[in-house]
Amino acid sequence: MFDLLPHLLNGLVLGLLLALIALGFMLIVGLMEQINLAHGSLFALGAYFALVLTGPKPPLPDALAAAWLQFPLGARYAMALVIAPCLAGIVGMAVEICMRRTYGKDPLYGLLLTFGVALVLEEVIRLAWGTRDHVLPVPQAMSGGFIFADLIWSTYRFYAAAMAAAVIGIVWLVIEKTPYGAMIKAGAHDSEMVRALGINLSKLRLGVFVFGTMLAALAGIIIAPIWGIRPHMGVDAVVPAFLIIVLGGIGSFWGAVAASLLVGLAVGLSGAYASEWSLLSMYLLLVAVVSIRARGLFGKKSLLEA
Amino acid sequence: MTGTPSTARLITPTMLGAWLLLATVPLWINAVGLYPYIGVEILVWSIYALAFNLVLGTSGLPSFGHGALFGVGAYAFGLTQFNVAANLWICLLGAALAGAVAALIIGFFISHRRGIYFALMTIAFGQIFWTISVKSHSITGGEDGLLNILRLPVDLGVVSFDITDNTSLYYFVLAMFAVATVLLWRLVNSPYGRILAAIRQSETRTAHLGYNVWLYKLSVIVISGAFSGFAGGLFAMAQRSAFPDVMNLAQSGLVVMMTLVGGGLVSFWGPVIGVIVFLISRDVIGAWTSAWMLYFGAMFVLLVLFRPEGIAGAYKLALERWKVRGASSSALGSASRSG
């Protein structure tokens, strides 16, 4: 049993990180009934923005750049956690405004639009930052490793997991404890009625899309030091997010979190026995669960199926 | 309005015209700065896109994992050649069968699904097949691919043609394309095709009319899989190898994109138009800038926003407007004459 502990812990950490990627995606699917295939590109964009902000040459006027570089890396990293998602949020805002034309049509069009956006963003990233791999520097206090039970553990992984857990908690608070959360949930349930009650649905949708985008970018920054930064990183991240949403049930917060942890554990534990095939385990898990429970773990009947 | 409507014919004038036009391609393709191999690519991808459109355009099922079926066909072509018999027909049959079997397995899990759930499940299955093909080094060669696939001679019993050069391969693939278009056209315009169209419009209503929707969806996925696998086999033969990258999500998305750019939702020939536009712009814009996907992607975004029915849809719209204008001006003319 003790041999499995590292794999179990790695699985849990992976699960938390996957949950972070999946939550923004889930909010957008849940409220707007749109699959945002650009989620992965926005995830990557967040990481690249953070790379620029923490890097040695920020694209600012010289005086500003000098002032910015005076901050220690830790402070710049902390500020990047806030600024980069905001920048990605602006991109997300532009996407949502384009997407308005597809509302009320087949959800296929929204999916295709975001697929096109994903292609464009990936190429923009290639043009701006090249195809090579980058490394996002992390503050001294968070990097390095420590030895526990005769094994070397990466410190940053645990910081990342803690940040992920904190963000998940904040998202839960927003959804469950604020009037905005109530509006979002009501909008997912019956958008006509929400509009009839005098809530500006198009503003709400814009807000949710930007919020989802910011979560994606934040996930990108938190995960970048572990997975590395490359133009293709978005696709690697977004596919598990799709699986998690189906596995957990569309529109279910705890479903998404539970499914993420389950997927993380499945990948982590199968990595203990057959590391080559560990990625396959999450797909098999999905097929197994969905064959028995058609709407995922916590899914309810959704308008999306009609 | 005499004669049989074009939907009931085995071979339509459009079809014949398309074949004849395509048959002249090797004569002028070098003159316009392209090369015969792109013709082979266009035909192979056209068969694939037409097969895909059976699922998307005809039945309204958004599949984002069709690359798996294409890729399975490509591998099956190579593996049949190495392990069973190096005969072109047996290998192509193997490719089509493999595509159909893969589609049957996928279809069992997704045929009761609709809309976004269907799309997400096809993504999952596409990734499953992709992961397997990347990781099974001993069978598929992993990332390195399955190499040394031969372009086998076309053995017709009495005569046998060699198709190792690109022009003769082009004519062989054109013959296969012609057969595929006839079969798919018949299928789309058969009573079976009507029921698929009914499923696209309303699955619930079709079910209430007494049709077994699940079986129809499963069967159309399998048929599409067989044609996709067949196209994959041709593709493996054309590029003399099979690689896992045709199976990944981005490549599966490309066939969706080609089908929609051309106008697969409103026209049988839409996917073919889309493939031609896509592959030629890949070569033309690609020769000019390596970031060609940026421009094509931006074009695609604009198309989805402003002309969601694609090139064929835009053409139909223009034709209708032109007719309306013609009709209104002649109406004006007759009014002035009577006045």
pLDDT of residue A302: 52
Q: How far apart are CA B57 and CA B87, in angstroms?
A: 34
Subunit contact B305:A235, Cβ cutoff 8 A: no
Taking phi over 0 as left and psi of -120 to 50 as alpha, with beta for the rest, A47 belongs to alpha
CATH of the domain at B201: 1.10.3470
User: Is the predicted pLDDT of residue A141 greater than 90, yes or no?
Assistant: no
Interface predicted TM-score (ipTM): 0.81
Please name every residue paired with A41 in a beta bridge, in sequence order, or none if there are none.
none
Subunit contact B304:A113, Cβ cutoff 8 A: yes
Chain B contacts of A280, Cβ < 8 Å? 128, 131-132, 135
Domain span at B169: 11-334
pLDDT in tens, A154-181: 788 888 899 999 999 999 998 888 888 8
DSSP symbol at A134: B
Q: How far apart are CA A28 and CA A184, in angstroms?
A: 10
Subunit contact B62:A291, Cβ cutoff 8 A: no
pLDDT of residue B251: 86
Contact (CB, 8 A) for A204 and A183: yes
pLDDT of residue B42: 94
Q: How far apart are CA B176 and CA B173, in angstroms?
A: 5
Residues of B near A (CB-CB distance < 8 A)?
A: 62, 109, 112-117, 119-121, 123-125, 127-128, 131-132, 135, 204, 248-250, 253, 256-257, 260, 291, 293-294, 296-298, 300-301, 304-306, 308
Q: How far apart are CA B238 and CA B222, in angstroms?
A: 24
Q: How far apart are CA B241 and CA A138, in angstroms?
A: 43
Q: How far apart are CA B91 and CA B234, in angstroms?
A: 10
Name the pTM for this structure.
Answer: 0.87
Overall domain count for chain B: 1
Q: How far apart are CA B72 and CA B81, in angstroms?
A: 14
Please name every residue paired with B161 in a beta bridge, in sequence order, or none if there are none.
B154
Amino acid identity of residue B254, one-letter, is L
Subunit contact B120:A306, Cβ cutoff 8 A: no
pLDDT of residue A70: 76
Q: How far apart are CA A270 and CA B41, in angstroms?
A: 40
pLDDT in tens, chain B (339 residues): 445 566 667 788 888 888 998 888 888 888 887 888 899 999 999 999 999 999 999 998 989 889 999 999 999 999 999 998 888 999 999 999 999 999 999 999 888 887 777 888 888 889 889 888 888 888 888 788 888 888 888 888 777 888 888 888 999 999 999 999 999 999 999 999 999 999 998 888 999 999 999 999 999 999 999 999 999 999 999 999 999 888 888 888 889 989 988 888 888 999 999 999 999 988 888 888 878 888 888 988 998 888 888 888 888 888 888 888 877 666 555 544 443
pLDDT of residue B46: 95
Contact (CB, 8 A) for B75 and B82: no
Q: Is residue B339 part of a domain?
A: no
Instruction: Give me the long-range contacts of A125-134 (CB less than 8 A, separation at least 24).
Output: A125/A41, A125/A44, A125/A45, A125/A48, A125/A231, A126/A231, A126/B291, A127/B291, A127/B294, A128/A48, A129/A48, A129/A51, A129/A231, A131/A230, A131/A231, A132/A230, A133/A228, A133/A229, A133/A230, A134/A48, A134/A51, A134/A228, A134/A229, A134/A230
Q: How far apart are CA A218 and CA A212, in angstroms?
A: 10
The alpha carbons of chain A give a radius of gyration, in whole angstroms, of 20
Q: Is residue B4 part of a domain?
A: no
Domain A2-305, classified CATH 3.40.50, yes or no? no
Q: Is residue B255 part of a domain?
A: yes
B265: its two tokens:
């939702």
- State the CB neighbour count (10 A cutoff) for residue B139: 12
Subunit contact A290:B121, Cβ cutoff 8 A: yes
Q: Is residue B320 part of a domain?
A: yes
Of all residues in chain B, the one with the smallest CA distance to A250 is B117
Average pLDDT over chain A reads 84
pLDDT of residue B339: 39
User: Is the predicted pLDDT of residue A77 greater than 90, yes or no?
Assistant: no
Where are the alpha helices (H) located in chain B, listed in sequence order? 13-23, 25-28, 36-53, 67-83, 88-110, 115-135, 137-140, 166-188, 191-201, 203-208, 213-239, 249-262, 270-288, 292-306, 310-338
Confidence grade of residue A305 (pLDDT, cut at 50, 70, 90): very low
C-alpha distance from residue B293 to each of A120, A222, B276, B284, B303 (Å): 7, 28, 16, 12, 15
User: Is the predicted pLDDT of residue A295 greater than 60, yes or no?
Assistant: yes
Residue among B115, B131, B135 whose CB faces A304 most closely: B115
